[in-house]
Amino acid sequence: MEGNSPIPEAGSAERNFEKQLSAMFSFFASRAGIRIGNFIAEGQIDSEFVATKKPYFNGKRRLDSSMTMESRQASSSEKLRRTQGNRPPTSAHHATQ
């Protein structure tokens, strides 16, 4: 599953989200995605089934995704701070003078 939905790096959080969403749609239309959909449907009526599958689906992939997004967020925030540091202030006080 990881190979079918890599975490995108498009340069902006909005574009990354769009690419990830598109990848998810493609994945859930695939044969493997249909199986996952069937697991989700089964889990709606069988809590024991969910308990046996939950460790797999909440494991390494989720942790890796979270760490990647946090790293990119920190990087983007640093780039934004550097960019804004080079701009003149844009407060209401300056705009009226």
Query: How do the residues of the chain divide into helix, strand and coil, expressed in percent and rounded to 5?
Result: 80, 0, 20
Is the four-CA dihedral 61, 63, 64, 69 of positive or negative sign? positive
What integer pLDDT is reported at residue 2 of this predicted model? Answer: 46
Question: Whole-prediction pTM value?
Answer: 0.47
- Higher-pLDDT residue of 25 and 69 is 25
The pLDDT-based confidence of 72 (bands split at 50, 70, 90) is: confident
Q: Is the pLDDT of residue 73 over 80?
A: no
Q: Give 47-60 pLDDT, tens digit per residue.
A: 898 888 888 777 77
| HSE, side-chain direction, 13 A CA sphere, residue 17 | 4
What integer pLDDT is reported at residue 1 of this predicted model? Answer: 44
